Structure 1
Amino acid sequence: MKRALAAVAALALTSAAWAQERTEVQFAKGNFGTMIEGSIEGDAYHDYLLGARGGQELFVELDVTDSTGSGTVYFNILPPGSDGVAIYNGSMDGTSFTQPLPEDGVYTIRVYQMGNDKDAGKTSAFRMDLSIQ
């Protein structure tokens, strides 16, 4: 019985990992920013990976463009090497971020849903303005 429960738990964790998407963000030559459009369904999340140097100012602004639910979409910013701990939590701090980055490395901008939209498998489309200076 314990093995069966462990197998179900492992499958649930693995399935959640499959729902995650990762995209490396690169700016067009000569640009210092980009506009990203995407969508999130249920408890899935999408990680946008962006290399930056410490001291550069990161700007991120997220707008929900459509939703089958309430449109509760947020983003967190995770520093290089993070195990999930964010330096910015959009669900607490809002949908706009401008701040100098503390260190060199690859930052993760994680876009996700919360509340009933997450739990009920709703889909929300978003637009994210992203730049580094």
Structure 2
Amino acid sequence: MRTQSIAPLIALLLSMPVMAADEVRSVTVQTNQLASAQTIQGTITGYQSADHNVQVAAGQTLTVHLDTSNTSSYFNVTAAGADQAMFIGSTSGNDYQGVMPSSGVYTIRVYMMRNAARRDEVAKYTLNIKIK
């Protein structure tokens, strides 16, 4: 009797589509704490994203600019351990400048909006990062 009550649940689970996990590539950006700039080129496709991790000291200014071949790709800036991004490119654009409130590793995530990602579009990008 128990097999009969579980069978519909198993059939339902097997019929659900399998969702692929988003692929996140992580890169540590080497910088000099006093003053430095980096230019990084990369490519993302579909639901891929690229995390660029930058060590920044409290009080330093982080400047980020994104040039991209796809108008649906953006970047976010998130502080270490934060639940939410402190800058969201899809609503604020492709330029960020701010004084960092605390020391730590900040993540600059380049990503594509879902409308382009689901079509498996490609975004070639150049990310300019400056710490002063």
Q: Which residue matches 1:90?
A: 89
Q: Structure 1: state its 5+ residue gaps.
A: none
Shift in CA distance, 2/90, structure 1 to aligned 2, threshold 3 Å: farther
Aligned-CA RMSD value? 2.5
Q: Which has the larger radius of gyration?
A: 2
Counterparts of 1:1-133 in structure 2 under 5 Å? Answer: 1=9, 5=13, 12=19, 15-17=20-22, 19-27=23-31, 32-64=36-68, 66=69, 70-83=70-83, 85-133=84-132
Q: Secondary structure at the match of 1:82?
A: coil
Q: Quick check: 2:63–2:98 contact (8 Å CA) kept in 1?
A: yes
TM-score by length of 1: 0.81
Q: Structure 2: state its 5+ residue gaps.
A: 1-8
Q: Number of residue pairs matched? A: 123
TM-score by length of 2: 0.81
Structure 1 ranges of 4+ moved more than 2 A: 1-6
Shift in CA distance, 56/120, structure 1 to aligned 2, threshold 3 Å: same
What's the offset of the Cα at 1:16? 1.7
Q: Secondary structure at the match of 1:129?
A: strand
CA distance in structure 1 between the aligned counterparts of 2:42 and 2:11, rounded to whole angstroms: 39
Q: Quick check: 1:71–1:117 contact (8 Å CA) kept in 2?
A: no
